[in-house]
């Protein structure tokens, strides 16, 4: 039994790479493609922007509270992992949408849900790590500020 593959027309609002099937011939072009991916995610994915804002807040708090360099590095690493997972989720969703088009498929749902679950899991762990590192000095600082002026 053969399956029909539905092909949808490309969305004209999203610029496509003319030679997306070609390999970048130098490092500069590779970085340009990577930057295009980051720009796409930032401009089209609300959750990516949200993670950037929360990550920036966590790093700013860490810097403001004078956390140790290793603690700042751990926060930076966890923020980077969450952003990387969000990029992978976006890529997987695009590939699934390209494959199934406008039709519904249970395995497409599973793939998208699992990718989103991976992002959620890393985000929860990042919040726990940031909380463990930021909350004690934040509470100490607030306590001193409120009670000792």
**Domain assignments of the chain as residue spans, ordered by start:** 46-148
For the chain, residues with pLDDT lower than 50 are 1-9, 14
What is the model's pLDDT at position 17? 56
86 is a catalytic site residue: yes
Note the pLDDT tens digit of each residue in 98-136: 999 889 999 999 999 999 999 999 999 999 999 999 999
What is the model's pLDDT at position 19? 55
Are the beta carbons of 130 and 36 closer than 8 angstroms? no
Active-site residue (options: 71, 86, 93, 106): 86
| Residue 59 token pair | 């790093």
Sequence-ordered alpha helix ranges (H) in the chain:
27-44, 46-64, 69-100, 106-148
| Residue 115 token pair | 């990718």
CATH of 46-148, one of 1.10.287.3610, 3.40.50.720, 3.40.50.300, 3.30.70.270: 1.10.287.3610
What is the model's pLDDT at position 129? 97
């Amino acid at each position: 039994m053969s399956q029909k593959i539905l092909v949808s027309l490309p969305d004209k609002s999203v610029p496509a790479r003319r030679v997306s099937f070609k390999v970048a011939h130098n490092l500069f072009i590779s970085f340009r493609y990577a930057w295009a991916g980051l720009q796409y995610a930032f401009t089209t994915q609300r959750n990516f922007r949200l993670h950037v804002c929360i990550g920036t807040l966590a790093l700013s708090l860490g810097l403001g509270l004078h956390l140790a360099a290793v603690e700042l590095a751990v926060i930076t690493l966890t923020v980077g992992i969450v952003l990387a997972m969000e990029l992978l989720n976006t890529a997987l969703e695009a590939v699934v949408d390209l494959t199934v088009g406008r039709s519904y498929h249970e395995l497409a749902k599973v793939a998208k849900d699992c990718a989103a679950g991976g992002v959620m899991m890393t985000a929860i762990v990042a919040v726990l790590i940031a909380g463990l590192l930021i909350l004690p000095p934040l509470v100490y600082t607030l306590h001193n500020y409120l009670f000792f002026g």
